[in-house]
Amino acid sequence: MGSHYLEDVFELFLLGALAEESAADLRAHLEAGCPSCQERIQDAALTVYLLSSTAKSGRPSPKLKSQLLHRLRKGRG
Amino acid sequence: MTSTARDGELLARVSQRDAKALGDLYDRFAPRLFGVVVRILHERRRADDVLQELYLHLWKDARSLSETKGSVRAWLVVNARHLAAERLRAERRAQAGAGAHGRERVSPRKLPAGKSRPPEPLFASALPASWIPLPEEVSKLDERLGLLQKVINQLPGPQRKALELSVFGGYSEEEIARELDEPLGKIRTALRAAVTFLRHRRRAVVGTWAAII
């Protein structure tokens, strides 16, 4: 399967920056299993990971972990 | 045990419904993920809410994620940003809708009281799972994160600004153009140039390419 996508759209797709129509088109193309685009999206995810990682760490509510585990237990019960 | 191996071991246990392992993955990554989410939402309470939702998704999707052999760390970081940005977009849409219908304006930080929020799709469930990078690649990136963050600062100001609005503002190309009062073509070019620059530099820094930074 040939790909007409330029490499620079994959990061923007993952970021949600593309126009809806372009994003839907690329999503359908990926779902059809284009192997070269699968590689590109995986590579693009590394750039999105890097960009997201520029945020400084923070401290969530101290109660959050116990609330989360409580919800899991409730879900299983 | 390496950090990457530990991530994989915990994910495998979560996929077997081990809640303590999920708690351990929470301890390992929650501060980092909270930092991403709160930078987008600018409110601690809502960031807590998104973080909890993210880990509930992980609990549900752990088995399929484990089968892909992809990096749980990358799954968490990319989806944390995605979930928070989707929430911000939904709130902006609600605000724009309320404004268009002449109703009371909704704060961009809050949904109307009592209004249920539809679940935002995660990329992990909306795309073929092969988008998730391999743990070894993510580990190499983490080792060079300090240097790579300096690379981001090398971007020209207008490109950095447009990228910031996309990554942490959840804006589309068109919205960025409106926000900055610039032609759409100029913003498209700036964003594409920025991600291309970062991709090339990232590959060089982690050793995929032999290049000098």
For A50, the 3-state DSSP assignment is helix
Domains with residue ranges and CATH for chain B:
1-131 (1.10.1740.10), 144-213 (1.10.10.10)
CB B62 within 8 A of CB B11: yes
Please name which of B134, B165, B32 lies closest in space to residue A42, comparing C-alpha atoms. B134
pLDDT the model gives residue B207: 79
How far away is chain B from the Cα of A3, in angstroms, using its nearest Cα?
16
Residue B195 with chain A: CB contacts under 8 Å: 8, 11-12, 44, 47
Q: Do B78 and A48 touch (CB under 8 A)?
A: yes
Q: Mean pLDDT over residues B48-58, rounded?
A: 96
Rounded to whole angstroms, how far apart are CA atoms B148 and B61? 30
Note whether A58 contacts B123, CB cutoff 8 Å: no
- Using the Cβ of A12 and the Cβ atoms of chain B, whether some distance falls under 8 Å is answered with yes
Percent pLDDT > 70 in chain A is: 94
Tell me: pLDDT of A1 over 70: no
Q: pLDDT tens across B141-169, in order?
A: 999 999 999 999 999 999 999 999 999 99
pLDDT tens across B94-148, in order?
988 877 665 444 444 444 444 444 555 676 556 667 789 999 999 999 999 999 9
Please tell me the distance from the alpha carbon of residue B23 to that of residue A26, in angstroms, as a whole number. 36
What integer pLDDT is reported at residue B208 of this predicted model? 61
How many Cβ pairs closer than 8 A exist between chain A and B? 168
Lowest mean pLDDT among A43-57, B35-49, B127-141: B127-141
Say how far residue B122 (Cα) sits from the centre of its chain.
Answer: 10
Rounded distance between C-alpha atoms, residue B151 and residue B133, angstroms: 21
Residues of A within 8 A of B174 (CB-CB) are 19
- Provide the 3-class DSSP secondary structure of residue B119: coil
pLDDT recorded at residue B39: 98
Cβ contact A22:A9 at 8 Å: yes
- Candidates B43, B61, B62, B161; CA nearest to B110 is B43
Higher pLDDT, B24 or B208: B24
**Mutation choice for B interface testing from A11, A41, A46 by most B CBs within 10 A:** A46
Q: Which residue from A minimizes the CA distance to B54? A: A68
For B128, the closest chain A residue by CA position comes to A31
Grade residue A77 by pLDDT with cuts at 50, 70 and 90: very low
